Amino acid sequence: MNSHLFSSLTVGAQTFSNRIVVSPMCQYSANDGCAADWHRMHLGALAGSGAGLVMVEATAVERAGRITHACLGLYSDANESALAQTIAFCRTAGSAKLGIQLAHSGRKGSCEVPWDGGAKLAANRDPWPTFAPSASGDGSVVACTQADLDRIKQAFVDAAVRAVKVGFDVIEVHAGHGYLLHQFLSPLANRRADQYGGELENRMRFPLDVFEAVRAVVPERIVVGARITGSDWVDGGITVQEAIVFARELATRGCDYVDVTSGGVAPAKIPVGPGYQVPFASEIKKSVGICVRAVGMIVTAQQADDIIASGAVDAVTLARAFIDNPHWPYEAARVLGEELSYPPQYARAEPKLWPGSKLKG
């Protein structure tokens, strides 16, 4: 083993063949939450990509938790059946471990798909009420009552139970990107004056309640983690110091890892560049004794390997790099002097069997 990127990693009860994770990437291609042919093609290809773990996109725990009408869901028997068929296919298509990200869009829901503009659904487009910690001034967003919070927490639990039945190796609670749990965490979105608002201890209360309830129904053999925010990139928003506190609280509740992202809850000037979010993950890694993953414009094999070699984090999570090249790990292995096991159908393209590999840049 010449690289750090391709070393194995044990998290909780699961061991991953390498430290490359395919990030959850919304596909906006579901039918009332049900996975479609596109998901089978998309996830099947990634399952055979050489990555150690493939995460299914943000999956709504209730209909009102979707971003768009076309978002994946796990709130019905039909959703569960369709996703189970897709995951069963992925198991035949590749050797990657498979995970799912459970999410609720909160006030960012009831929108058109991005390629149709992403605007809020018009009255003739079957919109739905959206829920958040605090109401909007125009009445389009409803502040969660205790009954709403109880319903949503139960929806996360029910979706987690379904995810266990589908057969996932990893279940991730989404508390980033400006969606509902992040909205509770961020003072930019949470203006409540009750036990769920104000100081960080209160703002963490509902996200931690949700995580704890999910962990309680998931067997120990399945890894349970969270995607969290390292910074809102706005004055008065979440800071990395608050993210460290949140990560510590998650760890005490049985969280196996955190995947650290940033932004999404409010407009912000974000200095996007190679590895721009890695410093947040690194700070959390120094302070919290669980696995930490980094995400954010991680593009090249050497960059990814250097991040792992530095000890900054335990694994890297890539998204658009996999859209650009669904076999990114095979290319990374070639660059780093490693050998990955090719499916027999593709073995003729192994560097040792294909002289053309030496002609690539």
Strands 20-22 and 315-318: parallel
Q: What is the pLDDT of residues 140-170, one digit of tens each?
A: 899 999 999 999 999 999 999 999 999 999 9
Report the pLDDT value the prediction gives residue 43, as an integer from 0 to 100: 98
Q: Is 179 a catalytic residue?
A: yes
What fold does the segment set 9-359 form as a domain? TIM Barrel (3.20.20)
Report the pLDDT value the prediction gives residue 357, as an integer from 0 to 100: 86
Residues of the chain with pLDDT under 50: none
Report the pLDDT value the prediction gives residue 358, as an integer from 0 to 100: 84
∠ Cα 352 93 21 (to 5°):
80
Q: Cα separation of 141 and 128, whole Å?
A: 10
Please identify which of the residues 28, 75, 179, 196 carries the catalytic annotation. Answer: 179
Q: What is the pLDDT of residues 228-251, one digit of tens each?
A: 999 999 999 999 999 999 999 999
Task: List the one residue out of 241, 240, 283 whose CA is nearest residue 262.
Answer: 240
Report the pLDDT value the prediction gives residue 2, as an integer from 0 to 100: 85
Domain positions in the chain are 9-359
Specify the amino acid at residue 18: N
Report the pLDDT value the prediction gives residue 360, as an integer from 0 to 100: 78
- Residue pair 201/144 in contact by the 8 Å Cβ criterion: no
Report the pLDDT value the prediction gives residue 273, as an integer from 0 to 100: 98
Report the pLDDT value the prediction gives residue 361, as an integer from 0 to 100: 64
Task: List the one residue out of 99, 115, 105, 110 whose CA is nearest residue 29.
Answer: 115
Report the pLDDT value the prediction gives residue 1, as an integer from 0 to 100: 64
Task: List the one residue out of 122, 146, 148 whose CA is nearest residue 62.
Answer: 148
Q: Which residues, at least 6 apart from 52, have a Cβ–Cβ distance to it below 8 Å?
A: 8, 9, 16, 17, 18, 19, 20, 21, 96, 97, 315
CA dihedral 66, 14, 340, 47 (to 10 degrees): -30
pTM value is 0.97
Share of the chain above pLDDT 70, in %: 99
**Residue that is written with structure tokens 């709504």 in the block:** 60
Strands 9-11 and 14-16: antiparallel
